[in-house]
Structure 1
């Protein structure tokens, strides 16, 4: 079964990390990717740009409007994700606990089952 492990980022937390902590996070992600590739559970990962670079398309009075950034009330934002193919939810949770962000107060990982996918290939 496929699961999306979503990384929720609090920019204030990241700004306060030491260089050593930042390096440990990078090294931890590299190790996580290598391990899940070797186990055959890795499908893909993507890191997303800062929300300040995003655009939002929404309907306003019957017209489509494009605005800058999501401007959500929460300070946390979607920073990226891992897509994994695992036996069950318990394994997805086990993998999420291995991602270094899980050990940093103020960061969070959300695990959601994939219920539909279209890979765009015939």
Structure 2
């Protein structure tokens, strides 16, 4: 009888403790950020394969700029550095100036 009472008290104590997940969220609020470390190092434009800009939100309070290089490496850039902002403007201008590919429609007979 003592063993059962002790195990029930232990289970009651374990259930009344706050969950560990809540403790982790209190200390590490950016669990959904993709960039752990950012760099301000220059990346040549001809080495860039893809660039993505993620605005703050969805669990991450930071603006994130991620560059995929042609050698398959991924670099997180500091969005506040001047050359990163110039790079984003240049690539946005180039993306806006490119025309979409023509669509050819064939008639089915």
TM-score interval w.r.t. the shorter chain?
A: under 0.3
As a proportion of its length, which structure holds more helix? 2
Name the TM-score, length of structure 2 as normaliser: 0.22
More strand by share: 1
Pair member with larger Rg: 2
More RCO (CA 8 Å, sep 6+): 1
- TM-score (norm. length: structure 1): 0.21
